[in-house]
Amino acid sequence: MTPKEQQIIDILITAIKGGNLIRFEYDGQIRTVEPYLIGELYSKFQNHLEEGIFALRAWFVRGYSNRPVDKRLDDRWRIYELNKMIEIEILSETNKIVRPLYNPDDKDFKRINFRVNVK
């Protein structure tokens, strides 16, 4: 893990603990999401991603999306690589519900650093 990734993880943990949404730039586009889970990806589940890349599982709220949203129940779930996230801002906007199909034991991740706990 790089120092930049650790800094991003610290920001994301703060947002998850507070139930806050975050806004950031990713691939040149602004996105607003609800962060749910931070960890290290398995490459066999995400063939376009290399093993050992730290990422965020989040619920897309608004901004740019390269995939359609709301065509299915889970269309807003996204994975964002931490090393591509810049200008991360914790918003005052919060979410206190757990979104449909959230899996705290997400099988796309070989190791989970922090997550929203389901009660």
Residue 89 in this model has a pLDDT that exceeds 70: yes
DSSP 19-62: TEEEEEEETTEEEEEEEEEEEEE-TTTSTTS-TT-EEEEEEEEE
Instruction: Dig out the tokens for 80 from the structure.
Output: 């964002």
pLDDT band at 20 (very low <50, low <70, confident <90, very high): very high
Q: Which of 6, 30, 27 is nearest to 88 (CA)?
A: 30
What percent of the chain clears pLDDT 90, i.e. is strictly above it? Answer: 66
Q: How many domains does the chain have?
A: 1
pLDDT at 71: 75
Q: Considering only residues 114 and 118, tell me which one the structure prediction assigns the higher pLDDT.
A: 114
Residue 8 in this model has a pLDDT that exceeds 70: yes
Q: Are 109 and 41 in contact (CB under 8 A)?
A: yes
Q: Residues 75-79: what's their mean pLDDT?
A: 91
pLDDT at 47: 54
Domain that holds residue 77: 3-115
pLDDT at 65: 84
pLDDT at 96: 86
Q: Considering only residues 70 and 43, tell me which one the structure prediction assigns the higher pLDDT.
A: 70
